[in-house]
Chains A and B, each alone.
Chain A
Amino acid sequence: ILNVEQSPQSLHVQEGDSTNFTCSFPSSNFYALHWYRWETAKSPEALFVMTLNGDEKKKGRISATLNTKEGYSYLYIKGSQPEDSATYLCAFTSNFGNEKLTFGTGTRLTIIP
């Protein structure tokens, strides 16, 4: 059984502060690790897809790292802004041949102005 776990479940961060959260996933049969940002009433938006151990990706103030040997990824947000308030989902894809995403339950981030 594949399990993806995210922590914390929710957090509140003061505007301007930096924050990070964790995704852990099975390290066997790994193909890709995905991060999505999901604002209420909108479509989940793809942030990063990472495939290689040691990958680091950055998009503006948001970055992510990947460790496939130990099965974890970190998402970092620098200088949080109110528009960063959203649920951040990570999802794991195995190398079994289809594109099934196995999701964690998400981290709900609220930025306090």
Chain B
Amino acid sequence: ETGVTQSPTHLIKTRGQQVTLRCSSQSGHNTVSWYQQALGQGPQFIFQYYREEENGRGNFPPRFSGLQFPNYSSELNVNALELDDSALYLCASSPGTTSSYEQYFGPGTRLTVT
């Protein structure tokens, strides 16, 4: 069974640019959630996708957008990057049942905006 993978591991972008982060969910999981962890904070919920539809969104501006594909992998897109977007971005997948709500995390993508 393959775990959750994310790419790239690290990247550096300039303020104002756009970035796309990718996540492959664990086999058999149809739900993907994205979190942002800024320095000194716990991960903050960005949004969740369930079977290709957005299923909840945290307190992030519209320049944070996402997609989920038919194979349940997902992308997080951030437009007009700001310095405060520098953070670790985590994705997590889950089987989408209500029995446990257990989420399995990838190792994250470290984004640095200069």
Judging by beta carbons under 8 Å apart, are A46 and B101 in contact?
no
Q: Which of B3, B42, B100, B105 contacts A105 (CB 8 A)?
A: B42
**Identity of the chain B residue whose Cβ is nearest the Cβ of A104 in the assembled complex:** B42
User: A42 vs B5: C-alpha distance in the bound complex, in angstroms?
Assistant: 11
- Assess whether B56 is interfacial by the CB under 8 Å rule: yes
Residues of B within 8 A of A (CB): 3-4, 31, 33, 35, 40-45, 48, 50, 55-56, 58, 90, 92, 94, 100-108
Judging by beta carbons under 8 Å apart, are A98 and B56 in contact?
yes
Which of B35, B42, B90 neighbours the largest number of chain A CB atoms within 10 Å of its CB?
B42
Judging by beta carbons under 8 Å apart, are B45 and A100 in contact?
yes
**Complex contacts, A34 vs chain B, CB 8 Å:** 101-103
Distance in angstroms from B57 CB to nearest chain A CB is 9
Q: Which of B4, B41, B101, B102 contacts A31 (CB 8 A)?
A: B101
User: A96 vs B8: C-alpha distance in the bound complex, in angstroms?
Assistant: 32
The answer to whether A49 and B45 touch (CB under 8 A), given A41-B107, A42-B107, A105-B40, is no
**Complex contacts, A36 vs chain B, CB 8 Å:** 105
Judging by beta carbons under 8 Å apart, are B104 and A100 in contact?
no
- Assess whether A43 is interfacial by the CB under 8 Å rule: yes
Which of A89, A91, A98 neighbours the largest number of chain B CB atoms within 10 Å of its CB?
A98
Which of A4, A44, A99 neighbours the largest number of chain B CB atoms within 10 Å of its CB?
A99
**Complex contacts, A45 vs chain B, CB 8 Å:** 105
Distance in angstroms from A73 CB to nearest chain B CB is 15
Judging by beta carbons under 8 Å apart, are B33 and A100 in contact?
yes
User: A42 vs B4: C-alpha distance in the bound complex, in angstroms?
Assistant: 12
**Complex contacts, B108 vs chain A, CB 8 Å:** 43
Please list 23 pairs of residues, one from A and one from B, whose beta carbons are closer than 8 Å in the complex, sorted by A's number: A32-B100, A43-B104, A43-B106, A43-B107, A44-B90, A44-B105, A45-B105, A49-B101, A49-B102, A91-B42, A98-B48, A98-B56, A99-B31, A99-B103, A100-B45, A100-B58, A101-B33, A101-B92, A103-B44, A104-B42, A105-B40, A105-B42, A106-B42
